[in-house]
Amino acid sequence: MSLVTAKPHTRTTAEKLQLGFLGAGWIGRHRMKALLDSGVAEAAAIAEVSEDCMREAATLAPKAAQVDSIDALIDENPDGIVIATPSAQHAEQALRALSCGIPVFCQKPLGCNHTEVGAVVAAARAADRLLDVDLSYRHTEAMRRIRPIVAGGGIGRVHTVDLVFHNAYGPDKPWFYDPALSGGGCVIDLGVHLVDIALWTLDFPKVKHVESHLSAGGKALGREQSTVEDFAIATLTLETGTIVRLACSWHLHTGKDAEIAATFYGMEGALALRNVDGSFYDFIAERYVGTSCERIASPPDDWGGRAAVHWAQQLARCKHYNPRADEFAEVASVLDRIYGRPVSTQ
């Protein structure tokens, strides 16, 4: 009698990824829908403790297994896990998945500080598994147009970058206002996107110096924070000599829902991303030369789930570590410096 040894499963290009979804609140369901609609993935299992959120998620993926923990999700042996839980849980949950050899796509922030983020990145590298974070503004059509022009020298040497993200409402979940659970206030919530956009567009030059001022309720905060900031300004000096200025806030009197902008000033012109009429979702991109203005990107642009789909498309091709994940630790390091925290050397 001969023995037959089972061969390891090799995915064909026609097969869809079988993903696990950890957290099915609004953002988790939105990213799930984008992934399912893309045709690259199916929901193998959903882990969610809220019955209401699970019920809504089940309308998107009625055949998915419904579980209540990350361990149960891992037991379903998914091709990857999408994490959309409260911030304080991200690092631990990502580490758990990666330790089992499962690739991860995580909501921002990947961790509450540079130490946590560095540990997750190191774990992904050691496991040789794909890791990505939902730094979604990279994937707007506006930034897709802006970045290659900057990289190609189309506005000359960039000497200044101005970044703004004011959210007139602020988060509606209590844990956002507890620094032990959130890692900080508007900087880690909104500023993470601003820092990432600037460094990503400029191809991640080193940050030589950081100066910042944080406040809550109009009062300056000390470095030992028991209250999260609702307003912050910071100036970054890059090794290239470029100055990056950012401002972000919750609950600011802006006369609109949101003010979001990123402007790159070069010696031969400028490029700007700006939101339209206070929208959180509609953006334009413009190119300035002297007093002239050229529109180079306009709504509509369904960009919200694009980062997740990009990760899934990469994962369908290759599950191995992408060294660009090192960038997540660099962004986290800058945030720690804005907060005045000692930066780990991990």
Q: Residue 222's pLDDT is what? A: 79
Dump pLDDT digits (tens) for 265-304.
999 999 999 999 999 999 999 999 999 999 999 999 999 9
Confidence category of residue 37, pLDDT binned at 50, 70, 90: very high
> Does 103 fall in a domain?
yes
CATH value at residue 280: 3.30.360.10
Q: Which of 55-69, 124-138, 171-185 has the lowest mean pLDDT?
A: 171-185
3-state secondary structure of 27: helix
**143/255 same-domain check:** yes
Sheet with 292-297: list strands edge to edge.
Answer: 219-220, 207-216, 231-238, 243-250, 158-167, 258-266, 269-275, 283-289, 292-297
**126/157 same-domain check:** no
Question: First and final CA of the chain: distance in angstroms?
Answer: 55
Confidence category of residue 329, pLDDT binned at 50, 70, 90: very high
| Contact yes or no for 53/74 (Cβ under 8 A) | no
**141/129 same-domain check:** no
**142/155 same-domain check:** yes
Q: How far apart are CA 316 and CA 290, in angstroms?
A: 45
Confidence category of residue 10, pLDDT binned at 50, 70, 90: very low
Q: Residues of 25-41 as b/e, b for ≥16 C-beta within 10 angstroms?
A: bebbbebbbbbbebebb
Phi, psi of 210 (to 5 degrees): -130, 130
What does pTM read for this prediction?
0.92
Average pLDDT (222-243) is: 92
Sheet with 17-22: list strands edge to edge.
Answer: 65-67, 41-47, 17-22, 80-83, 104-106, 131-133
Domain with 279 in it: 137-302
**28/50 same-domain check:** yes
> Does 341 fall in a domain?
no
| Contact yes or no for 45/21 (Cβ under 8 A) | yes
Number of domains composing the chain: 2
Phi, psi of 29 (to 5 degrees): -70, -35
Confidence category of residue 83, pLDDT binned at 50, 70, 90: very high
**154/84 same-domain check:** no
**73/157 same-domain check:** no
Q: Residue 9's pLDDT is what? A: 40
**189/94 same-domain check:** no
Confidence category of residue 8, pLDDT binned at 50, 70, 90: very low
Tokens 């970045």: give the residue. 147
Confidence category of residue 14, pLDDT binned at 50, 70, 90: low
